[in-house]
Chain A
Amino acid sequence: MITFDDVVKVYPGGSTAVDHLSLELPTGKTTVFVGPSGCGKTTSLRMINRMIQPTSGRILIDGKDVAGQDEAELRRGIGYVIQHAGLFPHRTVLDNVATVPMLLGKSRREARAVAAELLERVGLATEFASRYPAQLSGGQQQRVGVARALAADPPVMLMDEPFSAVDPVVREGLHREFLRLQKDLGKTIAMVTHDIDEAIKLGDVVVIFRQGGHLAQVGTPQELLEHPADEFVAEFVGRDRGVRSLSFDSAADLPVRPLPADLVLDDAGRPAGWSTGESTGGTFTVADSLRLVTDLAISSPVGIAVRVDDHGKADGVVPHHDLVDHLAARRGRK
């Protein structure tokens, strides 16, 4: 657990970047700091590994004050990923990843063995190991950056806008990769982003900062979307937050109706379209979210979303008006 205890950072010149921040980042979870530029999110992150010294207050990792520890030793035990990856241009990909193990005293051979394993883990083929960073695409560099941060198997990772320098398609892939890795590794991660969608997608906990280094709200993505603390948060998470909050509700308890006669099935029982010749426009399972069901119902030409089981066989439908009733009832429950 990372604890901010009444932390203040005032820069020389008098601007307050972080104003009496008290916060806990749970172990094994991803906590995302998000907010407009100049809100103190990056300063807060960089105080964790002492790249910036707080003016007052304490930061503790698992109860130990970071201020009492040797800076270099502390940093070797904390993974750090930044925008554009900050890879060493003069070292091969493999040696970039081997950096921290070698700083920690491992032999070159051991460190390289660890590095090779990690490259595979972040989805980079072995042929990349002997290349230099300049020979990689932005997305590949960012993967190397993540592998390098993981190399010493640190329990804590800091990520400063790690995915903002790549194009949306690549970012999408990196997001998937990140969620998969984090599911396996369960690191305690603090991440900074200016993109609220990224925060909602990747964060277990989202911390919204406002200008001047104040906390606006701390909560799970769903809490922020459904119960923004004030106008600032509501504005920041976006006007479509209602629809987006449906992503966090399961379609499991949505009542379904039996298959109607005009739904055409193939031999295996899978939906093939409507008898009018129109497509179903996609299907959902009990594992999907209410947002997907809503989307299907709205975009379907007949206003009906089709549910399938694990084998893809149609097992029920949700018409438009049933969905509206369910959403109304859901609102009553909240």
Chain B
Amino acid sequence: MSSYLSNNWDTILTALRQHIWLALVPVVLGFVIALPIGYLGVRFPRLYHPLVNVCGVLYSIPSLALFVFLPVLLGTKILSPLNIVVALTIYTVALLSRTVADGLRSVDPLVVESATAMGYRRLRRLVDVQLPVALPVILAGLRVATVANISLVSVGALIGVGGLGQLFTRGFQLFYLEPIIVGIVLSVALAGIADLTIVLIQRWITPWTRFQGRTA
């Protein structure tokens, strides 16, 4: 194992770096796109169920199919990382739009009502009251999306761009365990670190949640 690591250090680092980019750029893009979509699902309640259904269908498209398809749709090269980024952004949007909508719906209607009665206008009420109160639910969804993206990136290796996934295909083709194990360990560790980071951020920006579910 140690000889594998020392001989292939550069390859592994390159794969890891690519993996991080391919997984996290879609998280950021997807989150930014999902916020307004999720809000629409709450602002116009009739849109909520169609939204949930469309998101469900999008999420059920196999990642491999999407990776293969996007070059044809977008006119990109089959080996372009852009395909992976777009595909994972689509999944992130599918996952987070629903989460944002559910988060906003989870806000106690009495809280929204009292904000309205105090004289909040719609936009400021959303930014000052509804979004902060919905944060725990939204961030929980963000954790799921981030971890799912990190593990999905490797499927891209089947079309030649997959970060750590390339270690899997190489090991598989050469019948060689080391790269596969290193790839899995790094991928899981990356997911764990990303997940933990979001948890820490959540603790920091939603201090009030520590007291909920417990009466004074």
Whether A and B are associated in the same complex: the answer reads yes
Alpha-carbon distance A75/B115, docked complex (angstroms): 10
Q: Does A171 lie at the interface of the complex (its beta carbon under 8 Å from any beta carbon of B)? A: no
Interface size class of chain A, counting residues whose CB lies under 8 Å from the partner chain: 20 to 34
Expressed in whole angstroms, the minimum distance between the Cβ of B196 and any Cβ of chain A is 23
Alpha-carbon distance A71/B120, docked complex (angstroms): 9
B117: contacting residue among A49, A83, A90, A132, CB under 8 A: A49
Binary B-proximity of A94-115 (CB < 8 A = 1, otherwise 0): 0000011001000000000000
- Taking CB as reference atom, which chain B residue is nearest A90? B132
- Assess A75 versus B211: contact at CB under 8 Å? Given A88-B133, A90-B132: no
A88: chain B residues at CB < 8 Å are 111, 114-115, 129, 133
Alpha-carbon distance A77/B132, docked complex (angstroms): 25
Expressed in whole angstroms, the minimum distance between the Cβ of B120 and any Cβ of chain A is 7
Q: Does B2 lie at the interface of the complex (its beta carbon under 8 Å from any beta carbon of A)? A: no
Alpha-carbon distance A51/B119, docked complex (angstroms): 10
Evaluate contact between B211 and A135: CB separation under 8 angstroms: yes
A243: chain B residues at CB < 8 Å are none
Binary A-proximity of B120-161 (CB < 8 A = 1, otherwise 0): 110000000100110100000000000000000000000000
Q: Does B116 lie at the interface of the complex (its beta carbon under 8 Å from any beta carbon of A)? A: yes
Q: Does A269 lie at the interface of the complex (its beta carbon under 8 Å from any beta carbon of B)? A: no
Evaluate contact between A103 and B216: CB separation under 8 angstroms: no
- Taking CB as reference atom, which chain B residue is nearest A51? B117
Evaluate contact between B208 and A134: CB separation under 8 angstroms: yes
Evaluate contact between B116 and A51: CB separation under 8 angstroms: yes
Binary B-proximity of A136-171 (CB < 8 A = 1, otherwise 0): 110010000000100000000010000000000000
Evaluate contact between A132 and B211: CB separation under 8 angstroms: yes
- Assess A80 versus B114: contact at CB under 8 Å? Given A86-B108, A134-B211: yes
User: Which of B108, B118, B132 has the largest count of A CB atoms less than 10 A from its CB?
Assistant: B118
In the A-B complex, the 8 residue pairs with the smallest Cβ-Cβ separation, listed nearest first, are A86-B114, A76-B119, A75-B119, A80-B117, A86-B110, A134-B211, A132-B208, A90-B132
- 27 CB < 8 A contacts A-B: A49-B117, A51-B117, A71-B119, A72-B119, A80-B114, A80-B117, A82-B114, A86-B108, A86-B110, A86-B111, A86-B113, A87-B111, A88-B111, A88-B114, A88-B133, A89-B111, A89-B133, A89-B208, A90-B132, A90-B135, A99-B118, A131-B216, A132-B207, A132-B208, A134-B212, A134-B213, A158-B117
